[in-house]
Amino acid sequence: MNTIIVPDEFTVANGYSVTKTGMAGRNHVQRFFFRVPAGNPVLKVDLTGPSNDPGTGQVRFLRFHPWGLGVDSNASTSCYMPPVAGCATGDPLSRTRADATEGVWEVTVEGRRTSDVAWAPFTLTASLFGVEVSPDPDVIANAQVGVPVPRSYTMTNNFGSFVGRATGSGLGSARRGVFTIANHDLQHYTTTIPAGTTSFRATIGNPSDPAADLDLFVYRCSDATCATRTEVGRSADGDSEESVTLTNPTAATYQVDVDGFAVPAGSTTYDYVDVFSNPALGSVTVTDADAPRPQGATWTAPGSVLVSQVPEAGRVMLGNVRVVTSGGVQVGSADVVVEHVSP
């Protein structure tokens, strides 16, 4: 049997937001389809109705990538409201997907078998946001420790309206580049993280073979040789867009493994970055304030980049300019890269 799906469209006329209402039946699933246009927007999905109050039901929503892959875990306890065992991909009632791939996304609404009502009313809203930040990346060829580098950033809102501002970030020490991996190959990247580090992130993606399935594993080593190591994070689903973030990691040597689990083309290139952020490394500062940002709006904000340390050989300083709503949702970003730092 062939099934034709006619998805809802995000347009200027509907403010890049589509709302659906319905009743979530116990042990029932409803399916909604939304076409995400080109431009890598942020796809935000919100659910209202179920709550911690008795009589509002036990309901969840799950998101599915245009390739048919689940974004959220479909375990029988995942992402319900009221909660059963948490929601690994965010809040049970509101979750965002940055750089949403162009295509038709599926969102399901499900009533759990333990729901306290047979039919629970709900409202599901899918919205698109996306602000282009220029320049992206902002590449600074040279900087000197302790000397601020003045910058200027221009933001353009290409999707839904919001209230928000541009802001900066701390700087991190990063290894980044485009690498090649063969089918079933295993590659290692080793980094020593100092005390006071607030986060460590390893990310891969953008394979030249779109059918490739690459997986990512992060280990903490017992010493600099990594002869003995303990897994502390993994990201291993059915595609090659993988990321692991460790918050306040213990000072130690870490090793990132990239596994060429399945590469139909035989080999593929992929983008790689690992970065640890530490207040001692410096910062990106942007001067801006919350204001209404209608669709199509453009504004400019001044900034500066201050590097406080020279990174290790083979690494660069990496920060971000981020655009956030007044509610804290990130709707745009650009990398800031300092390629060379002199004492």
In our burial notation (b when 16+ CB lie closer than 10 A, e otherwise), range 218-239 reads bbbbeeeeeeebeebbebeeeb
- Residue 239's pLDDT is 83
Q: Is residue 203 domain-shared with residue 255, that is, in the same domain?
A: yes
User: Could you tell me if residue 234 is inside a domain?
Assistant: yes
Domain end call among 96, 129, 162 = 129
- Residue 245's pLDDT is 95
Domain end call among 73, 104, 129 = 129
Domain end call among 248, 270, 292 = 270
Instruction: Look at residue 1 and tell me whether its pLDDT is greater than 80.
Output: no
Q: Is residue 215 domain-shared with residue 310, that is, in the same domain?
A: no
Q: Is residue 26 domain-shared with residue 120, that is, in the same domain?
A: yes
Q: Is residue 166 domain-shared with residue 234, that is, in the same domain?
A: no
| Confidence class for position 195, pLDDT limits 50, 70, 90 | very high
- Residue 5's pLDDT is 87
User: Could you tell me if residue 313 is inside a domain?
Assistant: yes
Q: Is residue 160 domain-shared with residue 186, that is, in the same domain?
A: no
Sheet of 103-111: strand order equals 8-9, 29-36, 103-111, 59-64
Q: Is residue 150 domain-shared with residue 232, that is, in the same domain?
A: no
Q: Which pLDDT tens digit goes with each residue over 266-288? A: 999 999 999 999 999 999 999 99
Sheet of 131-134: strand order equals 131-134, 149-157, 298-307, 282-286, 169-170
User: Could you tell me if residue 186 is inside a domain?
Assistant: yes
Q: Which pLDDT tens digit goes with each residue over 233-275? A: 999 887 888 999 999 999 999 999 999 999 999 999 999 999 9
Note the pTM of the prediction, 2 decimals.
0.85
Q: Is residue 185 domain-shared with residue 290, that is, in the same domain?
A: no
Q: Is residue 42 domain-shared with residue 112, that is, in the same domain?
A: yes
List the beta bridge partners of residue 217.
Answer: 234, 257
Q: Is 341 exposed, middle or buried (0-12, 13-18, 19+ CB in 10 A)?
A: buried
User: Could you tell me if residue 91 is inside a domain?
Assistant: yes
Q: What is the DSSP string of 88-153?
A: TTSBTTEEEETTPPSEEEEEEEEE-TT-SSSEEEEEEEEEEE-EEEESSSEEEEEEETT--EEEEE
User: Could you tell me if residue 1 is inside a domain?
Assistant: no
| Confidence class for position 228, pLDDT limits 50, 70, 90 | very high
Q: Is residue 16 domain-shared with residue 94, that is, in the same domain?
A: yes
| Confidence class for position 2, pLDDT limits 50, 70, 90 | confident
Instruction: Look at residue 189 and tell me whether its pLDDT is greater than 90.
Output: yes
Q: Which pLDDT tens digit goes with each residue over 325-338? A: 999 999 999 999 99
Mean pLDDT of all residues in 153-164: 97
15 is written with which tokens? 């403010």
User: Could you tell me if residue 179 is inside a domain?
Assistant: yes
Helices and strands of the chain, counted as H and E runs? 0, 26
User: Could you tell me if residue 49 is inside a domain?
Assistant: yes
Q: Is residue 71 domain-shared with residue 210, that is, in the same domain?
A: no
Mean pLDDT of all residues in 15-44: 96
Mean pLDDT of all residues in 204-224: 95
**Number of structural domains in the chain:** 3
Q: Which pLDDT tens digit goes with each residue over 3-12? A: 888 999 999 9
User: Could you tell me if residue 3 is inside a domain?
Assistant: no
Nearest to 129 by CA among 342, 325, 337: 325
Neighbouring CB atoms inside 10 A of 90's CB total 14
Percent of the chain with pLDDT over 70: 100
- Residue 300's pLDDT is 98
Instruction: Look at residue 53 and tell me whether its pLDDT is greater than 80.
Output: yes
| Confidence class for position 147, pLDDT limits 50, 70, 90 | very high
Q: Which helix (H) or strand (E) holds 280?
A: none
Instruction: Look at residue 229 and tell me whether its pLDDT is greater than 80.
Output: yes
Q: Is residue 233 domain-shared with residue 255, that is, in the same domain?
A: yes
Q: Which pLDDT tens digit goes with each residue over 67-105? A: 888 999 999 999 999 999 999 899 999 999 998 999 999
CATH label of the domain that carries residue 141: 2.60.40.10
Q: Is residue 122 domain-shared with residue 155, that is, in the same domain?
A: no
What is the DSSP secondary structure assignment for residue 288, as one 8-state letter?
Answer: -
**DSSP-based three-state secondary structure for 317:** strand
Q: Give the range of the structural domain holding residue 302, as residue numbers without chain letter.
A: 131-171+279-342
Distances (CA, A) of 168 to 204, 291, 302: 23, 17, 11
- Residue 68's pLDDT is 87
Instruction: Look at residue 168 and tell me whether its pLDDT is greater than 90.
Output: yes
* Cα 158 → chain centroid: 19
User: Any long-range contacts for 85-88 (C-beta under 8 Å, 24+ apart)?
Assistant: none
CATH label of the domain that carries residue 23: 2.60.120.380
